[in-house]
Amino acid sequence: MKRGKIATLLAGLLLLLSAACLPAMAETSIIHAGHLLAVPGEKVLEKQSIIVTDGRIKDVRPGYLGAAAAGVARATLIDLKDAWVLPGLIDLHVHFSGELGSNNLLEEVQEDPEATVLKGVVYAGRTLQAGFTTVRELGSPARTGFALRDAINRGAVEGPTIYAAGHMISITAGHGDANGFNEAVTHALRPESVCNGPDDCRRAVREQIRMGADVIKLATTGGVLSNIAAGTGQQMFDDEIKAIIDTAHLMGKRVASHAHAAAGINAALRAGVDTVEHGSYLDAESIKLFRQTGASLVPTLLAGHTVTELARNSATLTPAQKEKALEVGPKMQAAFGGAVKAGVKVGFGTDSGVSHHGLNAQEFELMVDAGMAPADAIRSATVTAAEILEKQNRIGAIRTGLDADIIAVARDPLADITALQQVAFVMRRGLVHRSAGQPAPFVPSP
């Protein structure tokens, strides 16, 4: 080969190697937002441009800017001039491992964890398509919730960012134990998170953290869907509750407590819990403790509404579940209304899995019906929920430096909160998962 040809080939090879070593050109999108709720609860901005680069919000500027005006060489323009644009929504209480149905007991003994994960992929996708870009997954079998979280973070499957609890910490025969089976099955299904006494409960917390828990969940009271007629009163002793919460906090994890009865709510609050889930029978002492501790209420009104309707109109629930559902469901909305009037800090959560996944935004309507202002309801699922997760430096608003988790709806949600039930655009970390004109994902009727 002649020297000239060799030199040319070497030069070309060097050019290719040099190009391979250069950083990839930044991916930039510019969203033209007609009406922007950049920080829900604050003033709505008109005719804004959101500049998104490599999954983060680079800037928010007035007017509809092109690439040159935005200071970039090229950009993908996203036209949302006729839409109301707001931060991706956050649901602080979901269960991606299943949905409530008449076959749940059989599924517990028939399905392998792999089937649970595959269901979770479907439910996570529906949730993201509904505009929820971040969730707390507050209870799943084995490591299924952690596996789904990690797959989404890798980009292997579509879904919201997940902060997972793993198994809920419970006591023998409590909400979270394997109830309603014969003895052999009960002992085979009993999770490692069942504990009795303070020392054993410390062990259960550490087990969940070892397996990858982002947050710890415990049950201080009985539950509606436990297939056991033990009621919804306090079922965990105060020293057990304190041991769980102290251990989690010592290891840097926040704690959510499933709690219906006032005694269980108040015991959790006195022990320093971060969020109370459900809060169905909260009382004046609860209100006082919420204010003193700064803890938040995650009301899950949609779960209460769902089980009440199922108890009245279907054979889905067992007799033990049905009796509790008819009592607890109607109480939740009234308790929530009282908490709102008293100024309790509220984080948005649905307990989806009791209701169908993808219907999460129906919670907003129930919150407003109970007396919460639409602006405050939206704030509970954005700014406040991000604070509860201690992720306000990443999510919950549309401002420079935060993740580009952005959604849009066709109507003003401040005037009609049901607008959030029809999300037209979803972006998570700069990647568009839903755009205007795309058919809505299939979600079964309730």
pLDDT confidence of residue 105: 61
192 pLDDT more than 60: yes
Helix/strand/coil (H/E/C) assignment for every residue in 33-79: EEEECCCECECCEEEEEEEEECCEEEEEEECCCCHHHHCCCCCEEEE
Least confident of 35-49, 125-139, 176-190: 176-190
Half-sphere exposure of 1 (CA within 13 A, CB side): 8
The closest of 238, 241, 236, 200 to 221, measured between CA atoms, is: 236
Tokens at 439, concatenated = 């058919």
Tokens at 378, concatenated = 């939206």
CA angle (37 as vertex; 33, 43 as ends), nearest 5: 115
Tell me the β-bridge partners of 107: none
Determine the Cα–Cα distance for residues 40 and 105; give it in Å rounded to an integer. Answer: 41
pLDDT confidence of residue 102: 65
pLDDT confidence of residue 104: 64
The closest of 151, 189, 153 to 170, measured between CA atoms, is: 189
Q: Are 404 and 1 in contact (CB under 8 A)?
A: no
Give the mean pLDDT of 205-222.
96
- Across 102-106, 317-321, 333-337, which has the greatest mean pLDDT? 333-337
Residue written as tokens 């067992």? 318
354 pLDDT more than 50: yes
Least confident of 69-73, 280-284, 288-292, 406-410: 69-73
pLDDT confidence of residue 280: 94
pLDDT confidence of residue 17: 39
pLDDT confidence of residue 185: 62
Least confident of 66-70, 105-109, 261-265, 266-270: 105-109
5 pLDDT more than 60: no
228 pLDDT more than 80: no
Q: What is the CA radius of gyration of the chain?
A: 24
pLDDT band at 12 (very low <50, low <70, confident <90, very high): very low
What is the pTM assigned to this prediction? 0.90
pLDDT confidence of residue 100: 79
pLDDT confidence of residue 229: 64
Per-residue DSSP letter, 442: P
The closest of 258, 262, 284, 270 to 95, measured between CA atoms, is: 258
150 pLDDT more than 60: yes
Give the mean pLDDT of 294-301.
97
Which residues are CB-neighbours of 197 under 8 A, at least 6 positions away?
240
Give the mean pLDDT of 198-219.
97
**For all residues of the chain together, what is the average pLDDT?**
89
Better-predicted residue by pLDDT, 440 or 211: 211
Using one digit for the tens of pLDDT, what is the confidence trace for 29-45?
999 999 999 999 999 99
% of the chain with per-residue pLDDT over 90: 71
Using one digit for the tens of pLDDT, what is the confidence trace for 82-98?
999 999 999 999 999 88
pLDDT confidence of residue 445: 58
H/E element, 15 = helix 3-21
- Across 71-80, 94-103, 175-184, 315-324, which has the greatest mean pLDDT? 71-80
pLDDT confidence of residue 187: 62
What domains can you pick out in the chain, each with its CATH number?
Answer: 28-87+397-434 (2.30.40.10), 89-388 (3.20.20.140)
